[in-house]
Amino acid sequence: MKTWYNKLPRAIDVVPSPNFAIRNFHSSATLSPGRGYRFFMLAQTFIWVRARTLRQFIILHRALLSLILILAFCANCSIKPEPLRYSKDNCSFCKMTLVDDKFGGELVTKKGKVFKFDDIKCMISFLNSSERKAEVYSYELVVDYAHAADEFDLIPASDAFYLQSSELKSPMAGNVAAFKMLEELQDYQKKWNGSAMSWNEVKEVFK
Ligand SMILES: [Zn+2]
């Protein structure tokens, strides 16, 4: 069907090469090289070849950019922690069912894959395993012992305070509890003794 914009010259007649278009329409693009960037370049070339006019190229190109923004937004949305479901979920390291809601942890990879643990000892053993050592995680979380029944009981592992005591009977005998508040750890320490530790020190214990 003939429309008014089809009377305009074809994009390919006006712009000498796709590189020209990339320079002119995407000089501020900050896409990093990778699979997404290769898809973008391929889709852009396809649009360039198919577009009958420069106007069509611009319209399709804006649609492509919108699609990429939506996909990027959705990808980030899917990367989030999940609640630990006791009596249902299994530990990703020892494969036992999660049973004690005062203990446990969770790792979420950059791609949104979630790993759950029944004991901090299992989580650290998993982090140290040869096949996982190079992985980078968006979230490293542990259960707050003092607020285990609360809705938001998972706290960042690196910010938590840890108490190791033989009085703590954790599922896989790591016997380490995590606390969001140092004062709460100290209250339990008065009862049970044991050693207060940082996340790095706990990682050394179970190395
Ligand atoms: Zn385990």
Q: What is the pLDDT of residue 132?
A: 87
Q: Ligand 1 (ion): which residues have CB within 5 A?
A: 91, 93-94, 118, 122, 172
Same domain, 199 and 109: yes
Residues 82-107, mean pLDDT to the nearest whole number: 94
Same domain, 32 and 69: yes
**Would residue 26 count as lying in a domain?**
yes
Q: What is the pLDDT of residue 35?
A: 67
Q: What is the pLDDT of residue 20?
A: 37
CA of 167 to the centre of ligand 1 (A): 19
Range of weakest confidence among 1-5, 81-85, 129-133, 182-186: 1-5
Does position 187 have pLDDT exceeding 80, yes or no?
yes
Same domain, 72 and 114: no
CA nearest 204: which of 168, 165, 141, 162?
162
**Would residue 93 count as lying in a domain?**
no
pLDDT tens-place string over residues 108-161: 999 899 999 999 999 999 999 988 888 999 999 999 999 876 666 899 999 999
CA of 84 to the centre of ligand 1 (A): 13
Q: What is the total count of domains within the chain?
A: 2
**Would residue 91 count as lying in a domain?**
no
**Would residue 84 count as lying in a domain?**
no
**Would residue 158 count as lying in a domain?**
yes
Same domain, 130 and 171: yes
Q: In what order do the strands lie in the sheet with 137-143?
A: 114-117, 105-109, 137-143, 154-156
Give the pTM: 0.66
> How many Å apart are CA 19 and CA 34, to the nearest integer?
19
> How many Å apart are CA 163 and CA 172, to the nearest integer?
16
**Would residue 96 count as lying in a domain?**
no
**Would residue 99 count as lying in a domain?**
no
Q: What is the pLDDT of residue 44?
A: 79
Range of weakest confidence among 27-36, 40-49, 187-196: 27-36
CA of 105 to the centre of ligand 1 (A): 10
Supply the range of the domain harboring residue 19: 4-77
CA of 178 to the centre of ligand 1 (A): 16
pLDDT tens-place string over residues 192-207: 889 999 999 999 999 8
102 or 150: which leads in pLDDT: 102
Could you tell me the pLDDT band of residue 54, with boundaries at 50, 70 and 90?
Answer: confident
Sequence-distant contacts of 78-84: CB under 8 A, at least 24 apart: 78/112, 79/108, 79/110, 79/111, 79/112, 79/138, 80/108, 80/112, 80/139, 81/106, 81/108, 81/114, 81/139, 81/141, 81/154, 82/106, 82/114, 82/116, 83/154, 84/116, 84/143, 84/154
**Would residue 125 count as lying in a domain?**
yes
